[in-house]
Amino acid sequence: MRDDRKRLVHILQAIERVERYAARGEQAFRRDELIQTWMVRNIQVIGEAARALSQGLRDDHPNIPWSSVIGMRHVLVHDYFEVDLDIVWRVIERDVPTLKRNIRNLLATLDTR
């Protein structure tokens, strides 16, 4: 469980890094290649940390779309020439806040054990 907690903290840290630059807005994201690279890299970290979680933890928390999180990482790493910035921004805007809330809740339940 300790490794799972560590990975969940990594996910939360990467989310916070994404949020730091997402606050600049979509136009800044679209204009600045460095911000795009920063966002993509941290979404990869989120997916890699999710992939490293135990299957038991993922099975115990089916409300979190683990396969989508891991799948996004797969696309960003292996299909990097095909990365669609519209999809990346949609993930940042729509999915990351929900994931953050779910990961915080999950960490809180682990901390009470």
Active site residue ranges: 73, 78
AA identity, residue 27 = Q
Q: What sign results for the dihedral spanned by CA atoms 97, 102, 108, 111?
A: negative
Residues 102, 54: Cα–Cα separation, whole Å: 17
Question: Residue 52 corresponds to which tokens in the numbers above?
Answer: 């490293």
Give Cα separations from 83 to 35, 42, 75, 76, 96 (angstroms).
14, 14, 7, 6, 17
Distance from C-alpha of 46 to C-alpha of 66, rounded to nearest angstrom: 10
